[in-house]
Chains A and B, each alone.
Chain A
Amino acid sequence: MSIEMNAKIRGNPAAIGFSAVSYYSNDIAHRGILKNVSLEVHAGETLVLLGRSGSGKTTLLRLVNRLLLPSGGQVVVSGRPTSEWDAIQLRRGIGYVIQEAGLFPHFTVAENIALVPGLLLWPGDRVAARVTEMLRLVSLDPQEFGGRLPRELSGGQRQRVGVARALAADPPILLMDEPFGALDPVTRAELQREFSALARRLGKTIVFVTHDLREALLLASRIVLLESGQIVAAAAPQEFLRIDHPEVRAFVASLSPVPGAPS
């Protein structure tokens, strides 16, 4: 990352702040999913939450747009605790992309993308122009794809539409929960590369959840590693690889060379 970009990130206020956040599940076991997590996400950075399944990374993400409220502590978004935000209003200002995209199967591609602008009551011509713009942004031809239904798309195309839909109302914050997790490896690599360039260009604050260190290294301006509901490491990608922590080493080991390749 360039020096100016580092300076820019440091100069910007925190877009999202977690202070001493804990979250307990509602089941009988009352499991602690997050324990005393404090973290600041700076405006304009791509923060990758890395961790194994069950480490609490998705829970942390879902606290940002108030799909969940913390059991303890506070999550502050744009200067206000999520508990004081109107959930609907908060969510309309935050883009959200999930695995398998979660596109509405009965809406066309254009209608899917137009959803949040429509909820925000943008005038029709502005919505239509925005849909075209968004489809171009994710490299889909608006003429060809606008009228299709999600079932008429490939997995990679669906995920592109998912990204376009999340960006449609131009939210300052984008939350992404393993968005490329269900794609075949080739398509995944393609979308990761394109999204990496897109993220740099758009300057959004992005929180990205993954269990794939390779993906984290490619996309992150900062990697935060979660283990059993706690942050165990946080660093820029290159420094991250040098951290001496058993969980970091375990993830680095997952990058090990291709079987059969000369070591």
Chain B
Amino acid sequence: MSPLRFFLAHRSEILGATLEHMTLVLIAMLIAIAIAVPLGMFIVRRPGLRTVALALASIFQTIPSLALFGFLIPIPFLGGIGKRTAIVALVLYALLPILRNTYVGLTGIDPAVLEAAEAMGMTPSQILLRVRLPLAMAVILAGIRTATVITIGVATIAAAIGAGGLGTFIFRGVAMVSDAVILAGAIPAAALALLADGLLALLERRLRIT
């Protein structure tokens, strides 16, 4: 069967898997942002913790994704088969780019601006919230963009532990040796990644101040 005919024949199924995929990615990204951005703000003034946090986030990223999903299955509460485990793994993957960009963005600010802020009597938390954070926003968003694209890709592998999504088609296609079935998962996944990348790039450009 040609890919196009397979697409047309299974369009509602593919659409469902795409929505499922987007949900996985969205939930994972929201959690990762909620962890990594505050953590990045926290480690700016704590060099010891900074080394540990960045090293840990880097280690998660070096674990092959399939292995990470496998490792998580036996872990109580977080693990098991299904969406929850997949989300935990996706969050761990997304942490590093967001954490690193938050840290780099917050520390890469013109020293003259920070000196002026301090000299005018802003408190450290005012400097963080009113100067560093708004000026770092574009860089933080760039990290979120990278993490989103990675997560959309990695989420296809989540199908291996029963989390659903577009990976379902890819794994099925591999087993059936059918390009059409693989493409039914791969094309929407690639399109999602491009779309997310483009939209976030647009947002990033609007936030950039120089």
A interface footprint on B83-126 (CB within 8 Å = 1, 0 otherwise): 00000000000000000000000000010110111111111001
Q: What distance in Å separates the Cβ of A263 from its nearest Cβ neighbour in chain B?
A: 41
Least distance between A44 CB and chain B CB atoms (Å): 22
Secondary structure call for the A interface: mixed
Complex-state Cα separation, A115 to B210, whole angstroms: 20
Return B110 CB to nearest CB of chain A, in Å. 8
- Interface flag for B209 (CB, 8 Å): yes
A112 CB, nearest partner CB in chain B, Å: 9
Q: Give the segment of A84-92, A207-215, A240-248 that binds chain B.
A: A84-92
Contacts of A87 in B (CB 8 A): 121
B112: contacting residue among A88, A92, A93, A99, CB under 8 A: A99
The interface residues of chain A lying within 8 Å CB-to-CB of B184 are: none
Q: Are A65 and B119 interface neighbours, CB within 8 A?
A: yes
Q: Which of A101-109, A124-132, A138-146, A225-233 contacts its partner?
A: A101-109
Q: Would A119 and B113 count as touching, CB distance under 8 A?
A: no
B135 proximal to A (CB < 8 A) = yes
B121 and A106 contacting across the interface, CB-CB below 8 Å: no
Contacts of B134 in A (CB 8 A): 106
Q: Do the beta carbons of A105 and B135 come within 8 Å of each other?
A: yes
B131 interface residue per 8 A CB criterion? yes
**Complex CA distance for A92 and B126, rounded to whole angstroms:** 14
Interface residue? A98 (CB, 8 A): yes
- Return the CB mask of A17-43 against B: 1 if under 8 Å, else 0: 000000000000000000000000000
Q: Is A151 an interface residue (CB 8 A)?
A: yes
A135 contacts partner chain B, Cβ-Cβ < 8 Å: no
| A91, A104, A165: the one within 8 Å of B118 (CB) | A91
Contact yes or no, B112 A106, CB < 8 A: no
Give the distance to chain B from A208, nearest Cβ to Cβ, in Å.
15
- Which chain B residues border A67 with CB–CB below 8 Å? 115, 118-119
Contact of B126 among A90, A100, A119, A149 (CB under 8 A): A119
CA distance A138 to B111 in the complex (A): 25
With A103-B116, A106-B209 in contact, do A116 and B135 touch (Cβ < 8 Å)?
no
From known contacts A103-B116, A106-B209, infer whether A119 and B135 are also in contact, taking CB-CB under 8 Å. no
| B119 touches which of A91, A103, A105, A151 (Cβ 8 Å) | A91
What residues of A have a CB within 8 angstroms of the CB of B135 in the complex?
A: 105-106
CB of A96 within 8 A of chain B? yes
The distance in angstroms between the C-alpha atoms of A175 and B121, with both chains bound, is 14
In contact, B115 and A119 (Cβ under 8 angstroms) = no
A45 to B117, CA, bound (A): 26
Q: How far is the CB of B174 from chain A (nearest CB, A)?
A: 49
- Asked if residues B131 and A96 are in contact (CB atoms below 8 Å), the reply is no
A203 to chain B, nearest CB (A): 22
- Chain B contacts of A89 at CB under 8 A? 121
* CB-CB under 8 A for A96 and B119, given A104-B131, A106-B134, A119-B126: yes
Cα–Cα distance between A243 and B119 once the two chains are bound (Å): 35
A106-B135, A151-B210 known; A96 vs B122 contact (CB < 8 Å) = no
A-chain residues with CB within 8 Å of residue B110 when the two chains form the complex: 102, 105
A92 to B113, CA, bound (A): 16
Contacts of A91 in B (CB 8 A): 118-121
The B-contacting residues of A in range 146-180, CB under 8 angstroms, are 149, 151, 165, 175
What 9 A-B pairs are tightest by C-beta distance, nearest first?
A102-B116, A92-B121, A91-B121, A102-B112, A96-B119, A106-B134, A88-B121, A106-B209, A105-B209
List 30 interface pairs A-B (beta carbons < 8 Å), by A numbering: A65-B119, A67-B118, A88-B122, A89-B121, A90-B121, A91-B118, A91-B119, A91-B120, A91-B121, A92-B120, A92-B121, A93-B121, A96-B119, A96-B120, A98-B115, A98-B116, A98-B119, A99-B112, A102-B110, A102-B112, A102-B113, A102-B116, A103-B116, A105-B209, A105-B210, A106-B209, A115-B122, A116-B121, A119-B120, A119-B122
* Besides the known contacts A90-B121, A149-B209, A151-B209, 10 further A-B residue pairs in the complex with CB atoms under 8 A apart: A67-B118, A96-B120, A101-B112, A102-B110, A102-B117, A105-B110, A105-B135, A106-B135, A119-B122, A151-B210
